[in-house]
Amino acid sequence: MQPGAGGSAVRREGRAKLTGRALYVDDVAPPGLIHGVTIRSPVSRGTIRGLRFDPSLDWSEYTIVTAADIPGINIVKLIADDQPYLADRVVQHAEEPVLLVAHPDPMRAEAARRLITIDIDPLPPVLSMDEASEEFKRYSVVKGDVDRALSAADLVVVEGDYSTGAQEQLYIEPNGMIAVADREHGGVTVWGSMQCPYYIHGALAALLNLPEARVRVVQMETGGGFGGKEEYPTIIAGHAALLAWKSGRPVKMIYGRSEDMASTTKRHPSRTRHRTAVTRDGQLVAMDIDFVLDGGAYCTLSPVVLSRGTIHAAGPYDCPNVRVRGRVVKTNVPPHGAFRGFGAPQSIFALERQMDRVAQAVGLDPAEFRRRNFVRNGDTLAVGQTIREPVDMHALLQRALTLSGFAAKRAAFARANPSARVRKGIGLATFMHGAGFTGSGEVHLASVVTVEGAADGGVRVLAASTEIGQGTNTIFSQIAAEALGLEIDDIEIAQPDTAVVPNSGPTVASRTCMVVGKLVESAATGIRRTLVDSGYLPSTYTRAQFHHACERYIARFGDLRSTSQYTPPPNVRWDDETYTGDAYATYAWAAYVAEVSVDLVTWEIHVDDFVAVQEVGRVINPTLATGQIEGGVAQGIGWALYEDVVWREGRMANAQMTNYIMPTSMDLPPIRVYFEEVPYAGGPGGAKGIGELPMDGAAPAIFNAVAHATNLDPRDLPLTPERLLSLWAARHA
Amino acid sequence: MARLLDVLRAAGLTGTKEGCGEGECGACAVLLNGALVNSCLTPLAHAAGAAITTIEGLASDEQLHAVQQAFLDCGGAQCGICTPGMVLAAVSLLRQNPNPTEDAVREGLAGNLCRCTGYGRIFAAVLEACRRMPQATA
Amino acid sequence: MIPVLDGLDLHVPAGLDDALRMLASGDARPFAGGTDLMVLLDAGRLPPGRYVSLWELAELRGIREEPRGGVSIGALVTFSEIRRSHAMAERYPMLCAAAAQIGGVATQNRATIGGNIANASPAADAPPALVAYDAEIELLSLDGVRRLPYAGFHTGYKQMQLARGEIVSRVLLPARDRGWRDGYRKVGTRRAQAISKVCVAGSIRLDGDIVSDIRLVLGSVAPTVVRCRTAEAALRGRSITDETVDRAAQALLADIAPIDDIRSTAAYRRSVAQNLLSAFLRPADQK
């Protein structure tokens, strides 16, 4: 028997994945399939004059779709109505889709790319945040009076500018969709790699001018997402559907790696300016933070990314005067979008590097400085949220310091470094991450989960939340099994298919376990109550009794279903107007320590050891949770040191796995993961969100460790050997 | 010219995945006469008459190979897309070195990129498989 | 459906003569393990035409002891075979070090030393070691066999002294006297699956504390792999002091011509090339 919640049940779909039987979108091929490709703008901004088709090809063999072929609205339904599926008159960024072609032979479909010319009159593009004048969104968080606080005498004021670059999600399965359209009866179905079936569902109805009931979206096994399959798959699904609609044939669109890297969303580049005032004994008095994101050419999810980044910008510290000004600007690069952490890694990177510099300015050890300023139960965060859950940052930090040998190593490295060719350093970061949608987001989503019992005693969980590797299937099974007192194998998780499952919201924002899992728990509990209240099941029962009760109940009533809809926890209030209140129902808290070596011969930085201590509520499945933390830290290490999107004229110049450098098995340290478990009443079995948290802490801990090792002051990410050499050369010039 | 990868997949052996098409990620790795190769970089002509093991050929009926079972137990697979290539790389490694150190495991798997795990659960799985396997019968 | 690339034909020859005949006809190109050419194919940049597979040719395989001493490596020997060879590990460790750092296992199982040479990339991993070992290269065509010193084989970016119809057939490493100290270091974009940003292979022989002979070879810092003769000259006949190391590092700048590209910068390559030289000359300082 597999354990319920609290045990490391094995991954439900693990066997299928390990034997190659799991089906991803490119693994299926409906009969009569044609292959679609996207023809994209080669320039960053301009006016489309026309299209030229090389006469050497017989274009009658191809299905060709332009903006003129769109039956509904040529706008990707998201936040702002600004992004077309296919550019019509103007292009706003390089790689913007302009037309679609499809052919039964994938090689001939590919060949079309080189034989279609889009004539464009170029316009001057905006290619950096500094040149940008248009804004998509602006937020302001104000607590106390920063200007007055900063004017007080006898304070130490530390300023600093920080920047981060774009980051590619680099899921190993590239994006892909299959679409089948039925024009006669008015309907479309898409299957594909995605995080959010219902985003696509609503969008396709508008694109094809169909009632939502005539649109069906099915998630296939998905080979990683990390946010990269949150919003962009809507565009691919739309493209595949348009080709299917026009051709009447099933259409497959699978992106090659290079196209996926160059064209789809990445993590927003950022620039953060800090001005921090502290007393001479290291008490935070004021934090003035200016946070800017590069949104790229269209709005996509940028306002929400900005919101999370802005709210997390002041961190887990108690400071009486805080001002955070956040804005996301428009440039003519491919739109940036969701990526694990969603703006928080950018602002936390700046903050945690700044905190080390402030500590240094007042002569305090970085750990001691943080201890003097941690938020405690009853304190108030920058957005005015009073912490009511028990939080003990001191304990988390202490555990991380002990496990990493922080104090002893800090002293030993400082002694050995001056004469060493390989310098060593150790650094830390302390931070929190809000679980679930920001502010009133969950109330607006109003997510729904259904659990149904079958006559054979099996139980099926119906939710649109996707398994993308993070463990949704297993966690939901454990939660339902525990709520019903059953075994995990008694639980089936329905494939996310909008014709079958209710809308449990998008699979994003560390919400699946905590928010949707809670709905699974309550819907499953509803099944039990129904059976008990109707007299078919005693209040304590065996598995056999449960099966028997299901059988009899269904024989009598036809079906056995229980549905739960999100309701906010009591006392959680948020004001969208003033941007104050309970930004998140709860937070995960963490202290991370990185130990690095810096080789002064090659300027290579290697992370030698990594300790990640966090409080994420109750841990439902330790193996999966550990895997989530390790994977997030690994992406954080990649972001900090290796992953550099090289832009040339607004295009990604290194859109190949050979040249965009993610860590291999030889590049990563042992990542040591520890949990403090403090059950959270609002989560299933006491669990909170976990997925994004580990993305936040690695980069600042590493930068602080490099600063310790080298006495340099790195503030721009990624910290490639080339950048580190430049810093060293400037210092020693 | 056709790639071994495409031929395998067209034959219904879709457990072999394409992650990059340029030999960088290892998702398409198979064993060609026992040697690990990236099938995206292997022309079909070079597989003529060769014995090829894909992920589909590793388990016998419902009995998983020791490496597959250890991946399942230790959490070595997350999204699963790198998994077939990763498992074959691990099998290949253990055939050549039945008792690898963790460093040897790191090196043996360095051509197989995983974006989900940070590799930690994968190393644990390979070392666990090694503990469970009768000596040198990988 | 199996995607087949029209216009790209990989011909498997009946034997070596057949292969050489096809190559001599002029419109066919040699194809070994495919780890470079297939990447071009994926990117749509492999020139269409006929390719002749060398993979099956036994004559181009094997690591053999030469009668006059030294070792002959068939062009089709893979880097996995080089890594596993005891002769290589004992006598030519820099070549083993290079082999171990090429791609990952799957690449090493297919990538060949001949391909690494004939691909003519200045970032290739094996060539610096070959130059440092004074390797010779054997070229084969229907007209017969010729041997060249490997050091001058590459004449410019992606240029080499390979006539039409000719293939690289073997690489010959001469017997080595005792007393050489070798050092190979590849600085890549990461620790595995990496293309080099700077690579050094150095061999040095001391007579007392005087440098009696030296080879300094760098990759990825010029249109070809370069033997740094100016830097060598600054050291030969001298003892290794702070002053001579500095002078050699300065002299090195005359030997190399690094550029900015998507992987690195000229400034970084220059500085790291100098550092690698210093570190090679002063290994005792290495910590």
Give the DSSP H or E segment for C255: helix C242-255
Q: What is the DSSP letter of C285?
A: G
* Better-predicted residue by pLDDT, C41 or A57: A57
Question: Would the CB atoms of B15 and A19 count as touching at under 8 Å?
Answer: yes
What ipTM goes with this model? 0.98
Contacts of B110 in chain C (CB under 8 A): 104-105, 191-193
Give the DSSP H or E segment for A459: strand A459-462
Sort A154 into a burial class: Cβ within 10 Å, 0-12 / 13-18 / 19+.
exposed
Cα(A438)–Cα(A454) distance, integer angstroms? 36
pLDDT confidence of residue C283: 86
Q: Is the peptide bond before A718 cis (omega within 30 degrees of 0)?
A: yes
Q: What is the mean pLDDT of residues C207-222?
A: 97
Q: Indicate the residue of A17, A174, A670 with minimum beta-carbon distance to B77.
A: A17
Cα(A435)–Cα(A414) distance, integer angstroms? 38
The pLDDT tens digits for A182-240 are 999 999 999 999 999 999 999 999 999 999 999 999 999 999 999 999 999 999 999 99
Sort A598 into a burial class: Cβ within 10 Å, 0-12 / 13-18 / 19+.
buried
pTM given for the model:
0.98
**Backbone torsion region of residue B34, taken as left when φ is above 0, otherwise alpha when ψ lies between -120 and 50, otherwise beta:** left
Q: Find where tokens 């895997």 sit.
A: A627
pLDDT confidence of residue C285: 57
Q: How confident is the model at residue C286 (pLDDT cuts 50, 70, 90)?
A: very low
Cα–Cα distances (Å) from C76 to C55, C58, C108, C114, C168, in that order, read 7, 8, 12, 6, 9
Residue C1 has pLDDT above 70, yes or no: no
Return the structure tokens found at C30. Answer: 């040699």
Question: Would the CB atoms of B74 and A657 count as touching at under 8 Å?
Answer: no
Residue C204 has pLDDT above 80, yes or no: yes
The pLDDT tens digits for A282-307 are 999 999 999 999 999 999 999 999 99
DSSP helix/strand/coil, A394: helix
Q: What is the mean pLDDT of residues C217-236?
A: 97
Chains that touch B (3 or more CB pairs under 8 A): A, C
pLDDT confidence of residue C72: 97
Angle at A20 between CA A16 and CA A21, to 5 degrees: 55
Nearest chain A Cα distance for residue B17, angstroms: 8
Nearest chain B Cα distance for residue C194, angstroms: 9
Question: Would the CB atoms of B113 and A662 count as touching at under 8 Å?
Answer: yes
Question: Would the CB atoms of C1 and A106 count as touching at under 8 Å?
Answer: yes
Contact A694, A440 (CB under 8 A): no
Residue B137 has pLDDT above 90, yes or no: no
Q: What is the mean pLDDT of residues A265-285?
A: 98
Sheet bearing C196-207, strands edge to edge? C180-188, C196-207, C210-219, C226-227
- β-partners of residue C206 are C211
Question: Would the CB atoms of C262 and A114 count as touching at under 8 Å?
Answer: no
Return the structure tokens found at A31. Answer: 């009969």
Return the structure tokens found at C148. Answer: 């060249």
Give the DSSP H or E segment for C159: strand C159-160
Cα(A224)–Cα(A235) distance, integer angstroms? 18
C259 CB near a chain B CB, below 8 Å?
A: no
Q: Which residue of chain B has the CA closest to C81?
A: B35
The pLDDT tens digits for A659-703 are 999 999 999 999 999 999 999 999 999 999 999 999 999 999 999
Contact B72, B126 (CB under 8 A): no
B82 CB near a chain A CB, below 8 Å?
A: yes
pLDDT confidence of residue C46: 84
The pLDDT tens digits for A717-727 are 999 999 999 99
AA identity, residue B50? A
Interface residue of A665, A666, A671 to substitute, partner B, most B CBs within 10 Å = A665
Contacts of A382 (CB under 8 A, 6+ apart): A141, A143, A287, A311, A313, A314, A319, A322, A324
- What sign for the dihedral angle of Cα C65, C71, C74, C79? positive
User: Chain B window 24-63: which residues touch C at a Cβ cutoff of 8 Å?
Assistant: 24, 26, 29, 35-38, 40-43, 45-46, 48
Residue C13 has pLDDT above 60, yes or no: yes
Nearest chain B Cα distance for residue C213, angstroms: 35
User: Chain A window 644-703: which residues touch C at a Cβ cutoff of 8 Å?
Assistant: 646, 653-654, 656, 658-659, 661, 663-667
Question: How would you write A650-684 as a 3-class SS string?
Answer: CEECCCCCCCCCCCCCCCCCCEEEEEECCCCCCCH
B53 CB near a chain A CB, below 8 Å?
A: no
* Better-predicted residue by pLDDT, C7 or B121: B121
Contacts of B74 (CB under 8 A, 6+ apart): A623, B121, B124, B125, B128
Residue C237 has pLDDT above 70, yes or no: yes
CA-derived radius of gyration, chain A: 26
pLDDT confidence of residue A2: 42
The pLDDT tens digits for C77-89 are 999 999 999 989 9
Q: Which residue of chain C has the CA closest to B92?
A: C105
pLDDT confidence of residue A354: 98
pLDDT confidence of residue A588: 97
The pLDDT tens digits for A347-393 are 999 999 999 999 999 999 999 999 999 999 999 999 999 999 899 99
Q: What is the mean pLDDT of residues A39-45?
A: 98
pLDDT confidence of residue A389: 87
Backbone phi and psi for residue A695, each to the nearest 5 degrees, phi listed first: -75, -20
Nearest chain A Cα distance for residue B28, angstroms: 11
The pLDDT tens digits for A54-94 are 999 999 999 999 999 999 999 998 899 999 999 999 999 99
As a whole number, the mean pLDDT across chain A is 96
pLDDT confidence of residue A6: 59
Q: What is the mean pLDDT of residues A411-431?
A: 97
Cα–Cα distances (Å) from B56 to A481, B31, B81, C144, in that order, read 31, 12, 14, 47
AA identity, residue A334? P
Contact A684, A520 (CB under 8 A): yes
Q: What is the mean pLDDT of residues A105-126?
A: 96
Cα(A508)–Cα(A338) distance, integer angstroms? 9
Return the structure tokens found at A269. Answer: 């580049």
pLDDT confidence of residue A315: 97
Contacts of B122 in chain A (CB under 8 A): 665
AA identity, residue C46? L
Question: Would the CB atoms of C264 and A722 count as touching at under 8 Å?
Answer: yes
Interface residue of A601, A637, A639 to substitute, partner C, most C CBs within 10 Å = A601
Contact C270, C253 (CB under 8 A): yes
Give the number of other CB atoms < 10 A from CB of residue C228: 27
Q: How confident is the model at residue C162 (pLDDT cuts 50, 70, 90)?
A: very high
Chains that touch C (3 or more CB pairs under 8 A): A, B
A422 CB near a chain C CB, below 8 Å?
A: yes
Chains that touch A (3 or more CB pairs under 8 A): B, C
Nearest chain A Cα distance for residue C281, angstroms: 13
- β-partners of residue C202 are C183, C216
C40 CB near a chain B CB, below 8 Å?
A: no
Nearest chain C Cα distance for residue B112, angstroms: 8
Contacts of B119 in chain A (CB under 8 A): 630, 634, 665, 668
Contact A636, A699 (CB under 8 A): yes
Nearest chain C Cα distance for residue B4, angstroms: 10
Q: What is the mean pLDDT of residues A142-156?
A: 95
AA identity, residue A158? V
Cα(A597)–Cα(A595) distance, integer angstroms? 7
pLDDT confidence of residue C2: 64
Q: How confident is the model at residue A3 (pLDDT cuts 50, 70, 90)?
A: very low
The pLDDT tens digits for B49-90 are 999 999 999 998 789 999 999 999 999 999 999 999 999 999
Contact A699, A349 (CB under 8 A): yes
Contact C175, C148 (CB under 8 A): no
pLDDT confidence of residue C6: 72
B96 CB near a chain C CB, below 8 Å?
A: no
pLDDT confidence of residue A7: 85
Residue A1 has pLDDT above 70, yes or no: no
Nearest chain B Cα distance for residue C76, angstroms: 13
DSSP helix/strand/coil, B10: helix
DSSP helix/strand/coil, A614: strand
Residue C251 has pLDDT above 50, yes or no: yes
Sort B135 into a burial class: Cβ within 10 Å, 0-12 / 13-18 / 19+.
exposed
How many residues does the structure list for chain A? 733
